[in-house]
Structure 1
Amino acid sequence: MIDLSLMKGIRVDPVRRTAWVEPGVTWNELDRETQAFGLATTGGTVSHTGVAGLTLGGGIGWLMAKHGLACDNLLSVDIVTATGELLKASETENSDLFWAIRGGGGNFGIVNHLDADDSQLRTRAAYGDNYERLVAIKNKYDPTNFFRLNNNIAPTGD
């Protein structure tokens, strides 16, 4: 097993609405960074899930009905293959590998960073300044997530 949990780098570009994320980052950590710019991701529904694992496995999230799965919003990855080769994979570079990893998970190598597409970072209109409070209340009164938070909040959009 290769533990990438200490790889926690995040860079958000609020102008281009992109994020550069290392594989040890959780959705909670990425959300906190994007929220500083009033942005939100298509991210997962469980905050302690890893960004890389969920994205490479498909990526069901709060905003998927409007913006697609997390893997649909992936711009590129850097991946180390089984032969030890470091490759960039995107729509234009190693496109067959890029196609395969979006949903194929970690079956093709070790991803050491992901670039989120412009379309992944959305204006966080629905939660506004009450997002952290809303999540804390939700976690306190519904720790098993029996009632889905997204069913009680109007859809967001640009």
Structure 2
Amino acid sequence: MEQRDSFSYQCGVVDAFNEMVAAEVKALALSHPMDTREEMEALIAYAHESCRRHGTKLYPECDPLITDLFPASLNRGKYNILFYKADHVIEEYIRLKDRKAATVEAGAYFGGNRSRIARDYGRLLSYPEETIRRLLSENTDRE
């Protein structure tokens, strides 16, 4: 199989997700997680250009939201670039992170509260309910 370079692959992912956000197929999209801030910063200039072409916006995320929707190890300690079109979407993402932090702080991040936060994250990513249910049931790498 032909070897691909990681940066070019990430650029393709950025364009694909920006196209989906611009077409309003997704309200929020995530780049693939990156291991270092430097890796994310190297992609930012290209991501800004992609956003300009597609009429979308980006939010560099250095402390990603960890929920049961995805394996914890996929995003813990990683860096992402979030793509969105409408400001209320990124505001909702930040509120969801704050809600999780407050729930953890109150010692109430379990059961329905924990599940609700993961489900709300899935909806923000525009996943169908069946996909959210499947991701939650298949995830065995929880924080």
TM-score (ref. length: structure 2): 0.31
**1 or 2 for the larger relative contact order (CA 8 Å, sep ≥6)?**
2
The structure where strand makes up a greater share of residues is 1
- Tell me the TM-score normalized by structure 1: 0.29
